Amino acid sequence: MAKSTAPRKNATILDVASAAGVSKSTVSLVLNGSPLIKEETAARVREVAARVGYVYNRRAAQMRSQSSNVIGVVINDLMNPFFAEVLVGIERKLVEAGFITLMAHTNESVELQTKVMQSMREQNAAGLILCPALGTPATLVKEVQAWGIPLVVMVRSLGKGSYDYAGSDNALGTFMATNHLLEKGHRRIGFLGGQSGAVFNDRLEGYRAAMKKHRLKEHPELLCPALPTRQGGYEALQRLLDVEPQASAAVCYNDITALGALAALGERGIAVGRDFAIMGFDGLLDTAHSNPPLSTVDIRPGALGEAAASLMLERLSKPNTARLRYVATPELLLRASA
């Protein structure tokens, strides 16, 4: 006599196993997406589970196993589309591996960052991917490691330490951008945007190295720190244009700063690419459609996000492996602005 598979209230995993003619462990493996079960068997189990009305409680399973399929991702500035592109790369890679992302935005607040990371810890996140807020202490790495949760730091490093990191060669990128402008004959070149932190210091170092290579004296008045935003770039470019003798080009801390600078140049009636050259940094997709299209240092944000996720997946599968690092090699994307 065939086992009944009519829907029942509060069907259990044992009901599914009995109706499908398999063991409880086989049902569990199928529901967790294990590749160890033949697809024919897995399909039968899924079909029976749907027929008897079994609903898989993933949260309860995670509590039983003390594991999770959630990766916490903490971003410092979601207003910058760079991080949206990074997040797409992270999520794409994690979804392929059966994980989901729990994202939080700190708006450069170390206090808020602490709160959201503690919350993700309480939610039993399997790992944390963090772009640190400005002012984050290097001791955060050891604190999170003490929690027993894998940590990948991305974009902004937290100094020396045995933590996994995904970022780019910032100094090389701005060296390439500045060197390109110098080889085009520019000598009064500004550096716009950014204010502090490891990324700012590295990018400013690359700018200075290119000037030094060409045996040019650095002019402090051409350095225009500002918030790394459109408004920051707009205001920094206005300040730069008021310096005499006037600059003929600028290397920007990031693409968003450069887009703000383009707006300021337009207001002044200055033809970008002819009367003034602008270089961005990041490689945002939007830079291909600015007016004019922006030349930039491309570090492939989506690929960087995928790399950060890959480091996390490798750490989860091999907890005792040595420190993992990904450093994107920048490339120049030369367009009409320079």
In a domain, 270, yes or no: yes
Give the domain extent around 34.
13-56
174 with 293, same domain: the answer is yes
Instruction: Give which of 206, 215, 193 is closest to 80, Cα–Cα.
Output: 193
What is the C-alpha separation between 49 and 51, in angstroms, rounded? 5
* DSSP assigned state of 306: H
Residues 207 and 178: beta-carbon distance below 8 Å: yes
119 with 239, same domain: the answer is no
What is the CATH classification number for the domain harbouring 47? 1.10.260.40
Burial (CB count <10 Å: 0-12, 13-18, 19+), residue 331? middle
> What one-character-per-residue DSSP string does 139-208 give?
THHHHHHHHT--EEEESS--SSSS-EEEEE-HHHHHHHHHHHHHHTT--SEEEE-B-SSHHHHHHHHHHH
189 with 79, same domain: the answer is no
75 with 161, same domain: the answer is yes
249 with 320, same domain: the answer is no
49 with 82, same domain: the answer is no
In a domain, 1, yes or no: no
128 with 156, same domain: the answer is yes
In a domain, 3, yes or no: no
253 with 210, same domain: the answer is yes
pLDDT in tens, the chain (338 residues): 445 555 455 678 888 888 889 887 788 778 776 667 888 898 898 888 888 878 765 555 554 445 578 999 999 988 899 999 999 999 999 999 889 899 999 999 999 999 999 999 988 899 999 999 989 999 999 999 888 899 999 999 998 888 999 999 999 999 999 999 999 999 999 999 998 888 999 999 999 999 999 999 989 999 999 999 999 999 999 999 999 999 999 999 999 999 999 999 999 999 999 999 999 999 999 999 999 999 999 999 999 999 999 999 999 988 888 999 999 999 999 999 99
Question: Which residue matches tokens 């945007």?
Answer: 193
State the total domains in the chain: 3
CA dihedral 326, 332, 337, 338 (to 10 degrees): 130
